[in-house]
Amino acid sequence: MMNGHTSLNSDTSVSHTLNQVNGQLENLYQAQTANASTSVSLNASSNQQSAVTKKRMFQVRRTFLLIVTFDVIFMVLLWIIYNQIKNITIDQAFINDVIKYSIKTSLFDVVFTTLGSTGFIIAKTCVFTISKTDKGFTDYGILIVSFILAWVEIWFFDYRVIPHERRLREACSDTEETNTGALRNFRSDSNVSQSLLCTPVSVIEDYDNDEDYEKQADEVVDKVWRIFKDNDSWLQESISSNGLDIVLAKNYSKWGKVFRLTSIIPGCRDDVAELLFEHQEDMSKWSPTVNDCRILEVIHHDLYITYQLTNEQAQGIIAKRDFVNLNTRRFIDDVAILAAQACVYPQMPPKENCVRGENGPTAYIIEKHNDTSCKFTWILNVDLKGWLPQYLINTSLANVQLTLVESLRNYLSRTIEISSSGSSIGDITT
């Protein structure tokens, strides 16, 4: 009986152990299946992003190739017209300009050298003997037009193709890093699941994006504070008609051009900070430069993710821009800092009908001036994207700052007057 009882207990123990192992293996299989499907989804997303990137790269390169093709065809047409004016057949012109080529008398070579031959065209202009041919505009025109078209191509390639593809490569690289990090986490989860076979179950911490946002907020506050404390080499960019508001500018190697507006506005520090941070969705009601402003997510009471849509600037030359920012509120040495910087927020992707701008280190900085007013500093660093002359961007951004601070001053003045009137009525009633 003892042996039978022992055998029964042993069988029961073995059966229980096998059931545990089978359950753990089943959990491991389900986890690996989920990881595999997520990996496939990430790969599909990466492939889709790559396909979109290639498509966008093809569009801008197609424009460049169209310009180059037009250049070549146009130069061939000019060469044919040139020979027709001189009553020379195409065959005879080919023999004279190609078979019996001479840099002093031939113009056919210009057709094939406009893509990268600006130096050659300049040299040819110096040595080409126009006296041996019929003098006329065509002799000069082919050289001048070739020079202009070659520089149009170079300018377009430098200002449109190269920057556009560089931004796409950076975006693609960020996507690959994100996917790689996610896959690495999945592999780690798989390893932990395997360890369940021989170790007790432990609590696995699940981190979300809040920590990343907190880190980015710390970084942007540090940046704007350093810019705020930097008082060297700022140059005046613009000034208001009454002289109350001054816009300065300075170029930084890390961030590019930074604009800095300084002004005195009515109201106490805390009220102004609350208006510009907690009630920023009302900004479109008092600022003519803002079309829409929304709080997309409240991470905590001092950290928001926001969306802002601006109106057209420079009489419509600069189209509407929208921005997705990480906004944070901090206090340093009794100074209120409302800092912002562009952030990634998948729930608000770029729109087809609007250009997505990017804010660098940007902030409203509010200090106490006296009992009824405060000192307002606006540090602005922004990339408007698009194809815009720098002087137009500088003028537009300076005007935006002056317009907003004047609108803010008027709004605060009206608010204070209404509050004062309400208080007076309350006192009379009492």
Nearest-CA neighbor of 267 among 387, 409, 116?
409
Q: Which two tokens stand for residue 178?
A: 């994100």
The sign of the CA dihedral 254, 175, 388, 400 is negative
- Looking at domain 213-429, its CATH superfamily turns out to be START domain (3.30.530.20)
Phi and psi of 403, rounded to 5°? -65, -45
Would you say 292 and 309 are in contact if contact means Cβ atoms under 8 Å apart? yes
CA distance 238 to 246: 6
- The neighbour count for residue 98, using CB atoms within 10 Å, is 11
CA distance 208 to 416: 42
- Per the model's pLDDT, the better-predicted residue between 73 and 377 turns out to be 377
Biggest distance spanned by C-alpha atoms of the chain: 128
Phi and psi of 317, rounded to 5°? -65, -40
CA distance 133 to 124: 15
Label residue 86 by pLDDT band (50, 70, 90). confident
CA distance 186 to 188: 5
Burial of 245 (0-12, 13-18, 19+ CB in 10 A): buried
Quick check: 253 pLDDT over 60?
Answer: yes
CA distance 398 to 313: 11
What pLDDT, on the 0 to 100 scale, is given for residue 292? 94
Would you say 319 and 387 are in contact if contact means Cβ atoms under 8 Å apart? no
Quick check: 50 pLDDT over 50?
Answer: no
- Per the model's pLDDT, the better-predicted residue between 67 and 425 turns out to be 67
Quick check: 254 pLDDT over 60?
Answer: yes
What pLDDT, on the 0 to 100 scale, is given for residue 324? 95
CA distance 380 to 256: 11
Report in angstroms the alpha-carbon separations of 171 from 66, 134, 286.
26, 56, 35
Q: Which of 185-199, 257-271, 324-338 has the lowest mean pLDDT?
A: 185-199
What pLDDT, on the 0 to 100 scale, is given for residue 205? 32
Label residue 100 by pLDDT band (50, 70, 90). confident
Q: Which two tokens stand for residue 358?
A: 């990017």
CA distance 411 to 405: 10
Report in angstroms the alpha-carbon separations of 306 from 174, 233, 380.
22, 32, 16
Label residue 209 by pLDDT band (50, 70, 90). low
Quick check: 33 pLDDT over 90?
Answer: no
What pLDDT, on the 0 to 100 scale, is given for residue 196? 33
Quick check: 320 pLDDT over 60?
Answer: yes
Task: Say which residues have a Cβ less than 8 Å from residue 397's Cβ, sequence separation at least 6.
Answer: 259, 380, 382
What pLDDT, on the 0 to 100 scale, is given for residue 335? 95
What pLDDT, on the 0 to 100 scale, is given for residue 174? 52
**Angle, CA 25 vertex, CA 23 and CA 28 arms, to 5°:** 110
Task: Say which residues have a Cβ less than 8 Å from residue 5's Cβ, sequence separation at least 6.
Answer: none
Most confident region among 7-11, 77-81, 85-89, 328-332 by mean pLDDT:
328-332
What pLDDT, on the 0 to 100 scale, is given for residue 183? 41
Average pLDDT over the chain, rounded to an integer: 73
Q: What is the mean pLDDT of residues 351-379?
A: 93
Label residue 162 by pLDDT band (50, 70, 90). low
Domain with CATH 3.30.530.20 in the chain: 213-429
Amino acid at position 112, single letter? F
What pLDDT, on the 0 to 100 scale, is given for residue 206? 33
Quick check: 193 pLDDT over 70?
Answer: no
CA distance 128 to 287: 61
SS3 category, 262? strand
Label residue 1 by pLDDT band (50, 70, 90). very low
Q: What is the pTM of this model?
A: 0.55
Q: What is the DSSP letter of 313?
A: B
What pLDDT, on the 0 to 100 scale, is given for residue 63? 64
